[in-house]
Amino acid sequence: MALVERSDTGAVAHLRMNAPGSLNALSDAMLAALQAELDALARDRAIRAVLLSGEGRAFCAGHDLKEMTRGRDAPDGGAAYFADLFARCAALMQTIPRLPQPVIALPHGIATAAGCQLVASCDMAIAAEGTRFGVNGVNIGLFCSTPMVALSRNVPRKQAFEMLVTGEFIGCDRAAELGLINRAVPEGELMGAGMELAETVAAKLGRAVRIGKEAFYRQAEMGLAEAYAYTGGAMVENMMEPDTAEGIAAFIEKRAPEWTQ
């Protein structure tokens, strides 16, 4: 049984974490499986949108604490293992925004610590009503410093810091209010809502979305003038696409575009 199962519906790929017994914890094996699937998707031009969900009672409970405890058995007390673990996790989280396709998280149950980080790292998120989100490491003496990176880029600073230092969960209404998720739907409607959004994205010109997604994240790290200069170049690149010319012509002529990509 694969730790991450992939199924494709047209131009939409669905990745499902499949370790319900551990609440889909990000074990060494789970990190490797997710990384392999994302790397494959980065090369797959037939896929234009990605859904990410978890099997069982929860989306993801963060790192595998039992596995981390065993990592302390090394002669150095586990320092090298932990450094490697957090580097691999950081690489995974950075792969998602760099992926050409938009990634939509579909959390349910709980998304805690690195599981909350995973939601925050995705481009969009639709949650099942009743889902709880938290960066709860402080409750066991481990501040969620790496989850903080993605969280603080989604949520206003004071609210992110409150979550980090209290270790308390927030519900869907608060998560949507803060910008951690786009919206919540009844759990039975979660997959349908995710697929609807993914298919809407997949129906757009793939090249335009790829250019736009890369520009979205790169400009956010720039100063205002640099961001405008960079995104102006991205607009030029997009405008030079033949399919963009077709899209504009179709709009003017009030017809559906006939794209080749």
Give tens-digit pLDDT for 162-214.
999 999 999 999 999 999 999 999 999 999 999 999 999 999 999 999 999 99
Residues in Cβ contact with 51 at an 8 Å cutoff, skipping those fewer than 6 apart: 12, 13, 14, 15, 103, 104, 106, 191, 194, 195, 198
Residue indicated by tokens 């009503």? 129
Nearest-angstrom CA–CA distance, 137 and 31:
19
Q: For residue 205, give the 3-state DSSP assignment.
A: coil
Q: Please state the rounded mean pLDDT for residues 3-7.
A: 97
Q: Which of 20-24, 68-72, 77-81 has the highest mean pLDDT?
A: 20-24
User: Residue 102's pLDDT is what?
Assistant: 98
Please check the confidence at residue 77 and state whether its pLDDT lies above 90: no
**Position 87, amino acid:** A
Q: Please state the rounded mean pLDDT for residues 25-50.
A: 97
Residue indicated by tokens 């996790």? 89
Sketch the domain layout of the chain as residue ranges: 4-202, 206-252
How many Å is the Cα radius of gyration of the chain?
19
| Whether CATH 3.90.226.10 fits 4-202 | yes
User: Residue 143's pLDDT is what?
Assistant: 94
Asked if 217 and 104 count as a contact pair (C-beta separation under 8 A), the reply is no
**What are the pLDDT digits (tens) for 106-119?**
999 999 999 999 99
Question: Would you place residue 71 in the very low, low, confident or very high pLDDT band (cuts 50, 70, 90)?
Answer: confident
Q: Please state the rounded mean pLDDT for residues 18-25.
A: 97
- Quote the tokens at residue 187: 């759990």
Report the CATH architecture of 206-252.
Orthogonal Bundle (1.10)
User: Residue 245's pLDDT is what?
Assistant: 87
Nearest-angstrom CA–CA distance, 93 and 82:
16
**Position 57, amino acid:** R
Q: The pTM is what?
A: 0.94
Please check the confidence at residue 4 and state whether its pLDDT lies above 90: yes
Other beta carbons within 10 Å of 170: 21
User: Residue 239's pLDDT is what?
Assistant: 85
Question: Would you place residue 72 in the very low, low, confident or very high pLDDT band (cuts 50, 70, 90)?
Answer: confident
Q: Please state the rounded mean pLDDT for residues 221-243.
A: 91
Please check the confidence at residue 261 and state whether its pLDDT lies above 90: no
